Amino acid sequence: MTHTSDRLARATQESTHERTPWRVRLALHDIDGITLLVVPAVLFVLGLFVYPFLYGLVLSFKPRAGDFLANYRKFFSDPFLYDTIYATLRLALPATIINVLVSIPVALRVRKLHRRRLLTTILVIPITLGTVLIAEGLLNYLGPQGWLNRTLMLLGVISAPLRLVHNYTGVMISLILSGFPFTFLLTLSYITGIDASLEQAAATLGATARARFRHIVLPLLVQGLAVNFCLSFVQTFSVFPSAVLLGAPAGDTRVISIAAYQAAYEQYDASMAATIAMIMGFVQLTVVVLALAGRNLFYRGAAGGGKG
Amino acid sequence: MGQDKTISERLWAVAIWAAVIFFIINFMAMIATVVINSFGTRWLGTWLPAGYTTRWYRSAWDEFQLGDVLITTFQVVGAVVLLSGLFGVPAAYALARRNFPGKQLVMLLFLLPLMIPPITFGIPLATVLYRLGVGGTFWGVIIANLVPTVPFVILVMIPFIEQIDPRIESAARVFGAGTGQLFVYVLVPLLAPGILAALLLVLVRTIAMFELTFFTAGPDSQTLVVALYYAVYAAGVRAGQSIDAMAVIYMITTLIWLLIALRFVDPTQMVARAKQEAAR
């Protein structure tokens, strides 16, 4: 505050001269030596994030052969390529919805714990280890001779081992195992942001747990859940290592990122790879926009208990 | 609130805890399979291996050139941590202290690389890096990894910087400190806990960052997680125990840093801090 008033004072003094120096005029808009510190990082992100994206977009319209739309036409006319969108959505949408829905009751329960640090620490481990390690672990654990199948057979639930790897199920399990902790920690941070006194007030007025959830927590949570859904969806949509290692990369888990990878590193067609990357980004964006539009149908308001 | 009264509420609570425990047990068992297999001599069709040995570690170390891979990993991670601090902290300082026109746009610019998954922007980025001639090299891997970590450091550091009283900086200015001296003698010491937390999170994320390294690494610039991917991908060429020994080495490398990081940050911060900014 004092900075600005100082500067204002200085500026008015100097404006009595014929022209205000440009430094002062810039400083009035909060542009000075300190502001320039942001420039290297901005240039970095412009050069290595925005530029490659635009480069990829332009490149996708410069196919090896044919007119500028040839790559897009090829993608949407070849079932081997366009089916990958369906294969990805078939994994990403259920996995995200399961993770988000299950995370709500668990987070509501965990919120009441006083020492939840141990649980959150355990759940950070799968996120940290990443999908490659989870894929390798699950190959052993879910395999026909793995502990899960052995336990189920010992308990008499099944008579022959279930096929859980190198198919859709394996990738789905890995998406839940690596995705749930991420979704859960986000939901937990949103739920702890809701003022508990709002619920206490409702409980005092005789609302049951179900009614409190339905009429207080859920409306306040919808905003956060929509963002959570988007971030989790974007993560699961870009599944690559587990789809290759745990799935059937030539069959029903041939996801769009595999198609992009093959175009870039097996066919060396940078233009086609850029096209697939752009389509991948576009599908993600569409789902995110739909989810964010959906949340506007719900209540919008403060999650705090204070005034205003 | 708090106490469960009716039977259905209690059953619901039990069901939720059962689900959580089921999740954790399965995860732990999966990790245990990897560790046990890496020490097993032969493990076919039984609950536990026939015998135990440590020789797979020796063979994994030789077969996968883990010495070289580990050195590359630490060089890449060290450079990424250092450079994202050098780019990120000053930028965060400018964003925390100044309200210049277009600041919202700059914030959006820093949010995008965190919200768009690496696999989507990784392929165009790798194409550009290969055309520039740094693709497939050590520096290409570092540059690609910096793309999400610089914005991450900025978004984590802004709230830390906002907590510092600006009068301390004004006092330093009054005594004639330039911006460089201000950073070295005032800001960095005061921000040390925040910088440490941000950089440790960058470190853990970079060790585990698969996609960007995978797209830009050449044969001698692979990090541990990419080497592990190739080993699992070509499973059958090497003994499974050898791959698991490598997986255990990867887990130890990651988890040591995770444990150190968790001394300074709350686990929810690892996913929530930057994302909450996104929600606003």
Q: CB-based contact (8 Å) between B30 and chain A?
A: yes
Q: B33, B46, B143, B241: best mutation site toward chain A, by most A Cβ within 10 Å?
A: B33
A113 within some domain = yes
Cβ-based contacts of A137 with chain B (< 8 Å): 30-31, 33-34, 247
Query: Which of A44-48, A206-210, B87-91 is the least confident region?
Result: A206-210
B2 within some domain = no
Same-domain check for residues A28 and A150: no
In the predicted structure, residue A7 carries a pLDDT above the cut 70: no
pLDDT-derived band at B15, boundaries 50, 70, 90: very high
Same-domain check for residues B90 and B171: yes
Distance from CA of B17 to the nearest CA of A (A): 8
Confidence at residue A120, expressed as pLDDT on a 0 to 100 scale? 86
A125 within some domain = yes
In the predicted structure, residue B145 carries a pLDDT above the cut 90: yes
Q: Cα A307 vs. chain centroid, distance in angstroms?
A: 33
Contact status, residue A161 vs residue A153, Cβ threshold 8 Å? yes
In the predicted structure, residue A296 carries a pLDDT above the cut 80: no
pLDDT-derived band at A141, boundaries 50, 70, 90: very high
Over residues B97-126, mean pLDDT: 90
Confidence at residue A196, expressed as pLDDT on a 0 to 100 scale? 81
pLDDT, one tens digit per residue, over B66-82 is 999 999 999 999 999 99
B37 within some domain = yes
Same-domain check for residues B25 and B144: no
In the predicted structure, residue B84 carries a pLDDT above the cut 80: yes
Same-domain check for residues B208 and B274: yes
Q: How many CB atoms lie within 10 A of CB B107?
A: 17
Beta bridge partners of B40: B52
Over residues A213-223, mean pLDDT: 86
Same-domain check for residues B126 and B245: yes
Same-domain check for residues B82 and B176: yes
Cβ-based contacts of A109 with chain B (< 8 Å): 13, 16-17
Tokens of A217: 């927590």
Interchain CB distance below 8 Å, A199 and B19: no
Same-domain check for residues A117 and A258: yes
At B107, is the secondary structure helix, strand, or coil?
A: helix
In the predicted structure, residue B154 carries a pLDDT above the cut 90: yes
Interchain CB distance below 8 Å, B258 and A124: yes
A129 within some domain = yes
Same-domain check for residues B47 and B176: no
Distance from CA of A153 to the nearest CA of B (A): 12
Distance from CA of B116 to the nearest CA of A (A): 7
pLDDT, one tens digit per residue, over A236-258 is 888 899 899 999 888 889 999 99
Contact status, residue B129 vs residue B139, Cβ threshold 8 Å? no
Distance from CA of A192 to the nearest CA of B (A): 11
Confidence at residue A300, expressed as pLDDT on a 0 to 100 scale? 58
Tell me which DSSP letter residue A38 carries.
Answer: G
Q: Which of A60, A85, A108 is the last residue of a domain?
A: A60
In the predicted structure, residue B274 carries a pLDDT above the cut 50: no
pLDDT, one tens digit per residue, over A67-106 is 889 999 999 999 899 999 999 999 999 999 999 999 999 9
Instruction: Using the structure block, give the residue that is written with the tokens 């850029």.
Output: A274
Interchain CB distance below 8 Å, B228 and A132: yes
pLDDT, one tens digit per residue, over A185-198 is 989 888 888 888 88
Q: Which CATH number do you get for residue B229?
A: 1.10.3720.10
Same-domain check for residues A247 and A177: yes
Residue A23 belongs to domain spanning: 2-60
In the predicted structure, residue B59 carries a pLDDT above the cut 70: yes
Same-domain check for residues A52 and A158: no
Percent of all residues in chain B with a pLDDT value above 90, rounded to a whole number:
52
Over residues A127-138, mean pLDDT: 91
Rounded-to-5 percentages of helix, strand, coil across chain B: 75, 0, 20
Interchain CB distance below 8 Å, B275 and A257: no
Q: Cα dist. A6→A13, A33, A137 in Å?
A: 11, 17, 62
Instruction: Return d(Cα B42, Cα B49) in angstroms, integer.
Output: 6
Same-domain check for residues A27 and A149: no
Instruction: Return d(Cα A114, Cα A127) in angstroms, integer.
Output: 23
**Between A301 and B164, whose confidence is greater?**
B164
**Please, is B196 exposed, middle or buried when counting C-beta atoms within 10 Å of its C-beta (0-12, 13-18, 19+)?**
middle
Cβ-based contacts of A199 with chain B (< 8 Å): 1
ipTM, two decimals, is 0.86
In the predicted structure, residue A12 carries a pLDDT above the cut 60: no
Query: Which of A106-110, A295-299, B230-234 is the least confident region?
Result: A295-299
Number of folded domains that form chain B: 2
Contact status, residue A92 vs residue A237, Cβ threshold 8 Å? yes
Instruction: Return d(Cα A111, Cα B243) in angstroms, integer.
Output: 39
Same-domain check for residues A161 and A276: yes
Same-domain check for residues A91 and A144: yes
Same-domain check for residues B33 and B143: no
In the predicted structure, residue A17 carries a pLDDT above the cut 90: no
- For chain B, the residue count is 280
Looking at the partner chain, which of B87, B229, B267 has a beta carbon nearest the beta carbon of A241?
Answer: B229
Contact status, residue B138 vs residue B75, Cβ threshold 8 Å? yes
Q: Which CATH number do you get for residue A101?
A: 1.10.3720.10
A66 within some domain = no
In the predicted structure, residue A145 carries a pLDDT above the cut 60: yes
Contact status, residue B117 vs residue A235, Cβ threshold 8 Å? yes
Q: Which of A60, A82, A101 is the last residue of a domain?
A: A60
Helix (H) or strand (E) holding A51: helix A51-60
Q: Which of A38, A60, A82 is the last residue of a domain?
A: A60
Q: A7, A30, A31, A45: best mutation site toward chain B, by most B Cβ within 10 Å?
A: A45
A307 within some domain = no
Confidence at residue B275, expressed as pLDDT on a 0 to 100 scale? 44
Q: Which of B237, B35, B230, B229 is nearest to A141 (CA)?
A: B35
Same-domain check for residues B61 and B47: no
Percent of all residues in chain A with a pLDDT value above 90, rounded to a whole number:
44
At A43, is the secondary structure helix, strand, or coil?
A: helix
pLDDT, one tens digit per residue, over B179-205 is 888 888 989 999 988 899 899 989 998
Same-domain check for residues B22 and B81: no
Same-domain check for residues A223 and A99: yes
In the predicted structure, residue A158 carries a pLDDT above the cut 60: yes
Q: CB-based contact (8 Å) between B211 and chain A?
A: yes
Same-domain check for residues B42 and B109: no
Looking at the partner chain, which of A37, A45, A186 has a beta carbon nearest the beta carbon of B93?
Answer: A37
Per the prediction, chain A carries an average pLDDT of 86
Cβ-based contacts of A129 with chain B (< 8 Å): 208, 250-251, 254-255
Same-domain check for residues A21 and A162: no
Instruction: Return d(Cα A263, Cα A242) in angstroms, integer.
Output: 19
Query: Which of A24-33, B87-96, B220-229 is the least confident region?
Result: A24-33
Distance from CA of B128 to the nearest CA of A (A): 6
A254 within some domain = yes
- Greatest Cα pair distance in chain A: 94
Q: CB-based contact (8 Å) between B22 and chain A?
A: no
Confidence at residue B171, expressed as pLDDT on a 0 to 100 scale? 92
Same-domain check for residues A56 and A128: no
Instruction: Return d(Cα A224, Cα A186) in angstroms, integer.
Output: 8
Per the prediction, chain B carries an average pLDDT of 88
In the predicted structure, residue B278 carries a pLDDT above the cut 50: no
Contact status, residue A196 vs residue A258, Cβ threshold 8 Å? no
Distance from CA of B34 to the nearest CA of A (A): 6
Angle A117-141/B240-262 helices, nearest 10 degrees?
Answer: 170
Same-domain check for residues B182 and B216: yes
Side-chain-facing half-sphere of B254: CA atoms under 13 Å: 25
Contact status, residue A166 vs residue A246, Cβ threshold 8 Å? yes
Q: CB-based contact (8 Å) between B259 and chain A?
A: no
Same-domain check for residues A129 and A254: yes
**Between A9 and B276, whose confidence is greater?**
A9
Same-domain check for residues A220 and A269: yes
Contact status, residue B229 vs residue B214, Cβ threshold 8 Å? yes
Percent of all residues in chain A with a pLDDT value above 70, rounded to a whole number:
91
A182 within some domain = yes
pLDDT-derived band at B117, boundaries 50, 70, 90: confident
Instruction: Return d(Cα A152, Cα A143) in angstroms, integer.
Output: 12
In the predicted structure, residue A175 carries a pLDDT above the cut 50: yes
Residue B83 belongs to domain spanning: 56-279
In the predicted structure, residue B273 carries a pLDDT above the cut 60: no
Question: Cβ neighbours of residue B200 under 8 Å, at least 6 residues apart?
Answer: B257, B260, B261, B264, B265
The CA R_g of chain B, rounded to the nearest whole Å, is 23
A306 within some domain = no
pLDDT, one tens digit per residue, over B202-228 is 999 899 899 999 999 988 889 999 999
Q: CB-based contact (8 Å) between B2 and chain A?
A: yes
Instruction: Return d(Cα A37, Cα B100) in angstroms, integer.
Output: 12
